[in-house]
Structure 1
Amino acid sequence: MKMQCCFAALALTLAPIAAAAQPAGWQRYVVPETGAGADIPRTVFSEEAGKPETGYGRRFLTADRRANLTIQSIPNDTGYSPATFLARKNPPSDIVYKRITGRFFVVSSFRNGMIWYNRCNFAGRFANCVLINYPAAEKRRWDGIVTRISNTLASG
């Protein structure tokens, strides 16, 4: 009986992680105002959480609220390059991963037991971005999800 209880508790604890690892339920989210979009796993990010703080788009949460995703288009009417745009956002100095090209930037690091990941592609008047925050302890389980979302980010 004690062993069954422990397995049941473990199963309940791992349920969100297992859901995060499953590829089923991918759907394209498109920012209506700009046409930018990305594929998102709706079985993982099942809750809508309103509009982002800036620009156009949508925020999503996991059912347990342990992870979140924002897909947004931020106006870049001044035509800043990815490097300048990122610098003007005053990113933290402890960035673990940074890649900047003439068309996009990707930055990622750790904060309060979470991994934050931000990719912005630049096209026309907008920086089209995905921002993902998820538990650092589950990094390997989230790697495939983050990669697919990032790789499917496209301008409208």
Structure 2
Amino acid sequence: MKTILAAGFALLATLSAARAESWTSYRIAETGTAVDIPASLFTEIAGKPEGYGQQFRTSDGRADLSVQAVSNQEGLSPAEFLARKNPPSGIIYKRVTRNFFVVSSTRRDKIWYNRCNFTRGYVHCVLINYPAAEKRQWDGVVTRISHSLRAD
């Protein structure tokens, strides 16, 4: 009986792990990059990415989010920019258009997701890493973050 209760509590913890109860808009003033982020999930500041922006992580360290903007003075297309970043092999999902790219895959026990939009001399990106075992719980969160990425 104790084993069943422990498994039930573990399942509840997993199901609530990606529940975003409050959202806020994060903006990079220097570049105009803006994105909605779940403030109730990404509660800790986790450093600075390349270029401009901020890295965040969950309080338990299981997931992280980077919001960043880097210069694109060379005017690289999304396909050219992505190729120069030398992405890991085994990408599961890849979509490249004239104005953005999205790539996603798994590495060890995590899903990594990267979306970058191209505007006004900058590349505006969100990079998210989260437990692969919680994919379904994170799908809505990742979708909202991705779709909200913009340059104001």
The separation in 1 between residues aligned to 2:80 and 2:23, in whole angstroms, is 33
Tell me by how many angstroms 1:34 deviates: 1.1
Q: Does 1:142 align with 2:138?
A: yes
**Residue 68 (structure 1) aligns with:** 64
Going by fraction, where is strand more abundant, 1 or 2?
A: 2
**Residue 9 (structure 2) aligns with:** 11
Secondary structure of residue in 1 paired with 2:150: coil
Tell me by how many angstroms 1:18 deviates: 0.2
The separation in 2 between residues aligned to 1:19 and 1:113, in whole angstroms, is 16
Equivalenced residue count is: 152
TM-score (norm 1): 0.90
**Residue 77 (structure 2) aligns with:** 81
TM-score (norm 2): 0.93
Contact 2:114-2:126 within 8 A present in 1 as well: yes
Q: Does 1:42 align with 2:42?
A: no
The separation in 2 between residues aligned to 1:95 and 1:18, in whole angstroms, is 28
**Residue 111 (structure 2) aligns with:** 115
Moved over 4 A (4+): none
The separation in 1 between residues aligned to 2:17 and 2:130, in whole angstroms, is 13
Tell me by how many angstroms 1:45 deviates: 0.7
The separation in 2 between residues aligned to 1:95 and 1:9, in whole angstroms, is 33
The separation in 2 between residues aligned to 1:42 and 1:6, in whole angstroms, is 32
Stretches of structure 2 lacking an aligned partner (at least 5 in a row): none
Tell me by how many angstroms 1:32 deviates: 2.2
Secondary structure of residue in 2 paired with 1:49: strand
Q: What fraction of aligned residue pairs are identical, expressed as a percent?
A: 56
